[in-house]
Amino acid sequence: MKQTTLGKPITLVGQGLHTGTPSKIRLTPAPAGAGITVQRMVADLHEPERLTPLKVKNTSSAIHVEVDGRLVKSVEHVLAALYGMGVDNVNLQVWGEEIPAMDGSAWPFVKAMAKAKIVPLKTSVEPMRLTQTMGVELDHRYVMAFPARRLETCVVVDYEHPAIGRQLFHGNISPEVFAGQLAKAKTFGWASRIKEQRAQGLIKGGTASNALIFGEGGLENPRMRTYPDEPVRHKTLDLLAALALLGGRFMAHVVAIRPGHALDVMFVKKVYEMMQGGKA
Ligand SMILES: [Zn+2]
């Protein structure tokens, strides 16, 4: 299998989910071996920096990475789109401090990538394989990985909210599965927490058109829903975003029980350290 990049640059504009400020990104083609790099588009332009799990600085409500000494916020959905669609090499240029929220899913990024075409490069993919079972645990939440020949994920969510409850999504991850079964799954939140989150400076760009909002009576904006079990699909999408930080195609059977950004990133940090130390 050959490494890939985009056929031509793509630009997306919008506003950040948390900051609510306008932002723009451009994804530009990159050579084999470059991986996913990020470049802040500021006056004194710096070199693109390759993402690794060690660049993550905050996981409390999104995945924020540090590039050129500054935070680039909410990178997870564009990373999920790149990883899910099998784009190995790309430079992500960012104007503003946060990636545009778009519709709260990975779909707008996927659509733009498909339009620009995902093209093969001459160099082959070197898959990242595990040789042993490993995992992480945090507050009775778990992510475990078992050696496998391809990436297969099994994600379980379990919420007290009756409109969600327990959901399970299992799949062999491929661009077809990602585009057809995961990419449109929107982020979701709780009506009861909106005030408190806004007071903390979060979700200033959150609206009823870029997140599913669950209230006391159930889902408050059902017309925005794509899948009946959308929360577990979105959690799978977020898990793939964390895997993108590894900088290669991770071949394992990953089982995640009640995952979230903090746990997902803890998991990829551990995998990354094992791979670096030759102990995976
Ligand atoms: Zn998300």
pTM for this prediction? 0.97
How remote is the CA of residue 104 from the centroid of ligand 1, in Å?
7
Distance, CA of 192 to chain centre: 25
pLDDT digits (tens, 9 = 90+) for 154-190: 999 999 999 999 999 999 999 999 999 999 999 999 9
Looking at residue 96, its pLDDT comes to 92
Q: How far apart are alpha carbons 208 and 224 in whole angstroms?
A: 8
State which H helix or E strand residue 262 sits in. helix 261-276
How remote is the CA of residue 236 from the centroid of ligand 1, in Å?
9
What does the domain layout of the chain look like in residue ranges?
A: 2-125
Residue 261 is a catalytic residue: yes
**Please, what CATH class does the domain formed by 2-125 belong to?**
alpha beta
Rounded to 10 degrees, what is the CA torsion of 262, 266, 271, 274? 170
134-167: b (≥16 Cβ within 10 Å) or e = bbbeeeebbbbbeeeeebbbebbbebeeebbeeb
CB 140 within 8 A of CB 25: no
Question: Which among 266, 268, 267, 262 is positioned nearest to 59, based on CA atoms?
Answer: 262
How remote is the CA of residue 43 from the centroid of ligand 1, in Å?
30
pLDDT digits (tens, 9 = 90+) for 13-44: 999 998 899 999 999 999 999 999 999 998 87
Query: Which of the following is catalytic: 18, 234, 253, 261?
Result: 261
Average pLDDT over residues 137-166: 96
Amino acid identity at 75: V
Q: Tell me, what DSSP letter sits at residue 152?
A: E
pLDDT digits (tens, 9 = 90+) for 225-246: 999 999 999 999 999 999 999 9
The vertex-263 CA angle with 258 and 267, nearest 5°, equals: 120
CB 48 within 8 A of CB 64: no
How remote is the CA of residue 124 from the centroid of ligand 1, in Å?
30
Question: Which among 67, 93, 59, 57 is positioned nearest to 78, based on CA atoms?
Answer: 93
CB 115 within 8 A of CB 233: no
How remote is the CA of residue 149 from the centroid of ligand 1, in Å?
27
pLDDT beyond 90 at 264: yes
How remote is the CA of residue 122 from the centroid of ligand 1, in Å?
33
Which residues have beta carbons under 5 A from ligand 1 (an ion)? 187, 238
